[in-house]
Amino acid sequence: MSTHGLVATLFALSLLSTMALRSANAQKGTASPGYYPIGYNGDIFSGELLRSDDANSVKLVYKNGTKDESFEGRIESPCQAPTQASPRVTKELHLSAIPAGSILTVYYSPRTMKVDGKKVQTNLVWGIRFDVVNGQKLTDPKRPIISCSHQQATPFRAFN
């Protein structure tokens, strides 16, 4: 095999493996560098919002061909979204007001909690970002992460 053929083959293999890794991990990921609450390790999940009977529960599903991956988490406290009139003013955003089928990215921390004397693994969601709403893709990289944390005054630290 010529050097040119070997380079082309290696490039094609690296490109395919990169694409496979991206599609395999597209639903779960790590937050981009920025300022986040102290103690946050960068866990995120992106997927389609499913309806929930629980006002404090977020259920997402990521579909990739025949494979689905689900996420379920609980918000720390009611979500506070900036208003259109003044981005510095927030208003409570009820999870039930978010249209089913919206694509969201949730920022969460896995936690172990005691429920009825048993240890239960749960995902504590402290923030939500909208990616697609009513079929409209939101592409502004500076769109806000809506806080669902009672720790509004908690100092944030750089994460990278």
Question: Same structural domain for residues 97 and 131?
Answer: yes
Question: Same structural domain for residues 54 and 68?
Answer: yes
pTM of the model: 0.75
Distances (CA, A) of 85 to 43, 82, 90, 107, 148: 31, 9, 10, 26, 21
Q: Give residue for tokens 């630290």.
A: 157
Question: Same structural domain for residues 47 and 107?
Answer: yes
Question: Same structural domain for residues 37 and 19?
Answer: no
Question: Same structural domain for residues 51 and 70?
Answer: yes
Highest mean pLDDT of the ranges 7-11, 62-66, 83-87, 127-131: 127-131
Tokens found for residue 157: 């630290």
Contact between residue 93 and residue 147 where contact means Cβ atoms under 8 Å apart: no
Average pLDDT on 75-92 reads 88
Q: How far apart are CA 152 and CA 160, in angstroms?
A: 21
Contact between residue 29 and residue 46 where contact means Cβ atoms under 8 Å apart: yes
Tokens found for residue 33: 């560098």
Question: Same structural domain for residues 141 and 84?
Answer: yes
- Which range marks the domain in which residue 20 is found? 1-26
The per-residue pLDDT for range 111-149, each reduced to its tens digit, is: 998 878 999 999 999 999 999 999 999 988 888 899 998
Question: Same structural domain for residues 44 and 110?
Answer: yes
3 pLDDT higher than 80: no
CATH number of the domain that residue 122 is part of: 2.40.50
